[in-house]
Every structure is written in C-alpha cells, then in structure tokens.
C-alpha cells in the first residue's frame, strides 16, 4: 500500500533513508528533521510504501512551475526502499504512484 506519510512517522522514514546509505555516491540518508521540513513545505509531499504495517520505502516529491507557460512540473527528488525489499518493484511502484499523483494534480512534466 502507498499513502501519504503521517507526522508521527518522520523518524521511521528517516531510518528507511539511512538504510540506503552509500547505495548512491555520497548518499547518507535524511534526518527526521529533514523529512519533517520537506513534508511540511508548501507543495512538497512524502509518500510511503507499507507492507505488513511496516514502512519499507519512501518517495519525496514536489510540484513547481505554477506560473510557467510550460505547465507544472513534478520533481521526484528521491526514492528509498529498505535493502531487504530491493528487487520487489517497491521503488517502481512508488515512482508510478508519484507520477500518477502528479498527473492528477495538473503536472504536465516530471523529472
């Protein structure tokens, strides 16, 4: 199941990101404070993938370009999935969910 993060889950989401330390060059994960700031910023959102009541992945996105002639952009900033759940298409599901969510919220492009 994929859903919007709850305020009491920021620390858990941070732990998911930190479980992916060094999977990308120089990546160390995000703090709970960063997760909170991102999620509570205007036009920024975090979605979580959940399995058996456990958060196993997160996706951080933002919308911008509301005044652009080209239309609204969906910025897919980062996706992390706990290593023990890699190769199970959790990341793919998060990305597809984010893009579909962006489309429903008038995004015409994404990156």
pLDDT at 22: 83
Q: Say what the pLDDT of residue 100 is.
A: 97
Rounded to whole angstroms, how far apart are CA atoms 50 and 27? 23
Please tell me the predicted confidence (pLDDT) of residue 72. Answer: 97
pLDDT interval class at 26 (50, 70, 90): confident
Q: What is the DSSP letter of 42?
A: T
Residues 6 or more apart whose Cβ sits within 8 Å of residue 17: 29, 30, 35, 58, 78, 80
What is the value of pTM for the model shown?
Answer: 0.92
- The stretches of the chain forming alpha helices (DSSP H) are 10-18, 32-40, 90-104
CA 69 to chain centre: 26
């Amino acid at each position: 199941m994929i859903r919007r993060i709850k305020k009491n889950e920021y620390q858990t989401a941070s732990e998911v990101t930190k479980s992916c330390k060094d999977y990308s060059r120089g990546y160390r994960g995000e703090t709970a404070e960063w997760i909170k700031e991102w999620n509570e910023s205007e036009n920024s959102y975090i979605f979580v993938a959940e399995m058996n009541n456990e958060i196993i992945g997160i996706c951080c996105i933002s919308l911008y370009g509301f005044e652009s002639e080209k239309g609204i952009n969906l910025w897919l900033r980062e996706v992390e999935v706990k290593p023990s759940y890699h190769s199970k298409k959790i990341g793919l599901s998060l990305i597809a969910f984010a893009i579909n969510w962006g489309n429903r919220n008038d995004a015409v492009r994404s990156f």
